[in-house]
Amino acid sequence: VIVVSFSGVPVAVVSFTSIGVAVVSFSDGSVTVVSFSGVAVAVVSFTGIGV
């Protein structure tokens, strides 16, 4: 589980499963499910600036 927190933007929690599925849950209630085939590679882009 990767927790990425930004200042001024919602916190993103990225959870990977063994079958290559990433569930991205944001603190504003939105959920994004990203599925992968083979090698699990995730590119999460944010328009805001935060750490």
Which residue type is seen at 9? V
Q: Is the pTM of this model over 0.75?
A: no
* Beta strand residue intervals within 1-51, DSSP E: 2-4, 12-16, 21-26, 31-35
Residue 51: predicted pLDDT: 39
Q: Is 51 exposed, middle or buried (0-12, 13-18, 19+ CB in 10 A)?
A: exposed
pLDDT tens digits, 3-35: 555 555 555 666 666 666 666 666 666 666 666
Q: In what order do the strands lie in the sheet with 31-35?
A: 2-4, 12-16, 21-26, 31-35
User: What is the band of 49 on the pLDDT scale with cuts at 50, 70, 90?
Assistant: very low
Bigger pLDDT: 9 vs 41 = 9
Residue 8: predicted pLDDT: 56
